Structure 1
């Protein structure tokens, strides 16, 4: 969703008067609310992976009254093109994928050699098919909200030190994206000793990692993992000075907040979906076996000294050096 904002920016540049509505999961609505390019957010009633053909058809028929001129379909799945088709939208744009001929009538061929980044692929769909590639991509931006910051300060009883480090140890994709918890803990301990506050951010799924980090630091980190809404996580991150994160959604949020982000990459290439922020640093070993794009290390089993070495080879000292004083 953060990278999609670059598409919205591009559309507003090309067509300043256009109205952009976004069909998206309910969890993403707080993000869309912070994007001034978006006129309306429409809740997709189905979760990730749910087919729900009749629900999609009914939603499309309901949207016919909006009389949209164009639909830009970012996912490559067949089911994602159903709603625009039944909404009767005359111009339906998307990449070739899963036999979507007919559902889409502006079908683009994706040249991965030219459009090497996800954000480029999104922005290109908003341009004419003959436009020069790769396109220029605007930087996503989520402006800080003072009242929202005040709310999380009051809710969590926060006090401030001069420096706050936010650690984001999770990654939805799988273990091959997650830097070891004991490495995060070593970074946290070093900064705590120099007077920094360290905050842990993430979802319910990241609780085990956060608990391990906090145990290794004698419970000296402030653990917000699984205790915040997405919007509260955004507000907390906006208060931090530096963010260390895996290749994850929270990493992209930090970049959109224009934070100093240190993004750690293992099985995925930083060139594909980097943090879209000039302040950001990406860290990757670029091993011969990478990027494997696997959720779990395919070469060595858990317990082997070389298991996920694309991550274990990135030592805490390197991240501390990038954080600085």
Structure 2
């Protein structure tokens, strides 16, 4: 059996998008060990094709040359092939130090000496699933999409800890690590929470990191009795489990949006400054709201962290009633074979 080392990307959404590549590698007989930073590693623990997850001890944005060299050297003789998913030089150092015989990745930041098999950098912003699948040596088929799974008992355990029943709650992920140009207005989230609670009588769990707790608190305060703030109170792994156990999810373009898509949940994703042509939720039950054609704003998509005009119209123009209607469509039973 081929022993494969996967150097994982550093963002949650990109990690989810790499799952079809891992499924393909495992299907052809490769044993997968994924080396990932701690805030991304839980995503790979929800991927059945992964045999082992290695938590990397490095700080975000730092080279950590000595630590990478020591860790890489400790892996010598352990792997037959390495797939380097990020495009940075530092991502390619570990398999190079480990002397992995085959080291596959994109040329990225001039990595000619670090990789043995280099793919040319694609132009623009390509869809991420085929971008990663190309590293397998074969193109995407066009129907591959990420899939995550947890055992039913794990779902029940997380729901019991949160005081909810599986399938008996909605989830909002209102934050976006990238910046406010991805964030649907909190007042809109609050209006939607009130409407969903009135319609279904089920709570809305607000998920995110500790940095997003204040944002979630603002939403909950404007929707009394409808929401429970769990941002900053759960691990990423538990947040993923709760998403997988929920009835449906509403979010911005974010990593947790891709997590929901990989579970095949009914979901609505609100896009503004970014484009669903680049990073859509790959889920037949997803509904995407992006008003580029309707608004006619020449700046869409800008891919900026903040709106240079200060109005965030691309997001604010998506009203809560529209999202509620889209979610109602997503919640409808799927025809057999399409779920």
TM-score (norm 1): 0.90
The CA deviation string for residues 216-273 of structure 1, in whole angstroms up to 9 with x for no partner, is 1124312111111112112211221110011111111111111011111111111111
Find out whether 1:309 has 2:313 as its counterpart. yes
Number of residue-to-residue matches in the alignment: 310
Q: Distance in 1 between matches of 2:174 and 2:180?
A: 11
Structural mapping, 1:1-325, within 5 Å: 1-13=15-27, 15=28, 17-66=29-78, 68-112=79-123, 116-127=126-137, 131=138, 133=139, 135-136=141-142, 138-158=144-164, 164-194=169-199, 195-286=201-292, 287-298=297-308, 300-301=309-310, 307-324=311-328
Q: Distance in 2 between matches of 1:308 and 1:321?
A: 22
- The alpha-carbon deviation at position 136 of structure 1 amounts to 3.6
8 Å Cα contact 1:175/1:296 also seen in 2? yes
Q: Distance in 1 between matches of 2:145 and 2:178?
A: 24
Structure 1 stretches of at least 4 aligned residues deviating more than 6 Å after TM superposition: none
The CA deviation string for residues 134-184 of structure 1, in whole angstroms up to 9 with x for no partner, is 554522222232222232233233357x75221110111000001000000
- The alpha-carbon deviation at position 112 of structure 1 amounts to 3.1
Q: Distance in 2 between matches of 1:104 and 1:144?
A: 35
Query: Could you say what the CA RMSD is over the residues aligned between the two structures, in angstroms?
Result: 1.9
8 Å Cα contact 1:63/1:87 also seen in 2? yes
Tell me whether 201-210 or 31-40 shows the greater mean CA deviation.
31-40
Corresponding residue for residue 304 of structure 1: none
The CA deviation string for residues 259-310 of structure 1, in whole angstroms up to 9 with x for no partner, is 0111111111111111121111111112321111110112x13xxxxx1111
* Unaligned segments of structure 2, at least 5 residues: 1-14, 332-339
8 Å Cα contact 1:285/1:314 also seen in 2? yes
TM-score (norm 2): 0.86
- The alpha-carbon deviation at position 10 of structure 1 amounts to 1.9
Q: Distance in 1 between matches of 2:46 and 2:105?
A: 25
Q: 1:163 to 1:230 in 2, by over 3 A?
A: same
* SS in structure 2 of the partner of residue 2 of structure 1: helix
* SS in structure 2 of the partner of residue 19 of structure 1: strand
Q: Distance in 2 between matches of 1:144 and 1:58?
A: 34
Q: Distance in 2 between matches of 1:318 and 1:263?
A: 12
* Unaligned segments of structure 1, at least 5 residues: 302-306
8 Å Cα contact 2:154/2:241 also seen in 1? yes
Q: Distance in 1 between matches of 2:94 and 2:34?
A: 12
Q: Distance in 2 between matches of 1:53 and 1:221?
A: 45
* SS in structure 2 of the partner of residue 27 of structure 1: coil
Q: Distance in 2 between matches of 1:29 and 1:116?
A: 24
